[in-house]
Amino acid sequence: MLDIYTLGEDVLREECSDIKVFDDALRMLSEAMIDTLDEADGVGLAGPQIGVPEKIFVVHIRGEKPLVFINPSITGTSIETGVYEEGCLSLPGVYHDVVRPVGVTIQAQDINGKPFTIEADGLLARVIQHENDHLHGKLYIDHLDEKEKEKVLRAYEKKNRARRRQKSRV
Ligand code: NI
């Protein structure tokens, strides 16, 4: 399992670089990311979240095949937007409604470097947008207004303090 980096780590705020080499190391990285994602019971995980500031993210919606997106770019979004309560493995324990387009078109490369395009809606479109943001140093809280963002950050701090206390007790 890979360590998941949480809020406060600089790597979460970096613009990620393009992946140019499609080799066994990349394949192993993507497999480790999927394992880590499943273990953490999440639906998406991006490179910076495991300390790798490169353009890769994985999505695994339960009951469906895991997907790997390399060097992705969102080329279209629906005009219609929707609200969904998002969380993030890098901000464990807190959630907030986020408004985003309900549909996206994304172009990316697969693990062999082969280009593909997906038109997504529903949960997949939501996760794709959330993960793609990570590759540009952006977190879901950045979509909130200042007051909402403060609220989430305060709740996160509170939970983190509780967790640190718990850790030091054992
Ligand atoms: Ni996230």
Mean pLDDT of 58-80: 97
Mean pLDDT of 51-62: 98
Using the predicted structure, report yes or no on whether residue 130 has a pLDDT greater than 70. Answer: yes
Q: Are strands 81-86 and 67-77 parallel, antiparallel or unpaired?
A: unpaired
Distance from the CA of 88 to the center of ligand 1, in angstroms? 4
Q: What is the pLDDT of residue 141?
A: 98
Using the predicted structure, report yes or no on whether residue 162 has a pLDDT greater than 80. Answer: no
Q: What is the pLDDT of residue 169?
A: 63
Distances (CA, A) of 21 to 51, 62, 105, 135, 138: 18, 29, 24, 18, 25
Catalytic residue among 131, 146, 148, 157: 131
From the number of C-beta atoms within 10 Å of its C-beta (0-12, 13-18, 19+), residue 41 rates as exposed
From the number of C-beta atoms within 10 Å of its C-beta (0-12, 13-18, 19+), residue 19 rates as middle
Using the predicted structure, report yes or no on whether residue 163 has a pLDDT greater than 90. Answer: no
15 belongs to the catalytic site: no
Distance from the CA of 23 to the center of ligand 1, in angstroms? 26
Using the predicted structure, report yes or no on whether residue 40 has a pLDDT greater than 80. Answer: yes
Selected residue with higher pLDDT from 122 and 163: 122
Q: In 5-145, where does DSSP find H-type helix?
A: 24-39, 122-134
Q: What is the pLDDT of residue 65?
A: 97
- What proportion of the chain, given as a percentage, has pLDDT over 90? 92
- 115 touches 109 (CB < 8 A): yes
Distance from the CA of 119 to the center of ligand 1, in angstroms? 21
The rounded mean pLDDT for the chain is: 96
What pTM value is reported for the model?
0.94
Distance from the CA of 89 to the center of ligand 1, in angstroms? 6
Using the predicted structure, report yes or no on whether residue 164 has a pLDDT greater than 90. Answer: no
Using the predicted structure, report yes or no on whether residue 170 has a pLDDT greater than 70. Answer: no
Q: What is the pLDDT of residue 160?
A: 84
Mean pLDDT of 104-122: 98
Residue with token string 């078109």: 105
Distance from the CA of 10 to the center of ligand 1, in angstroms? 15
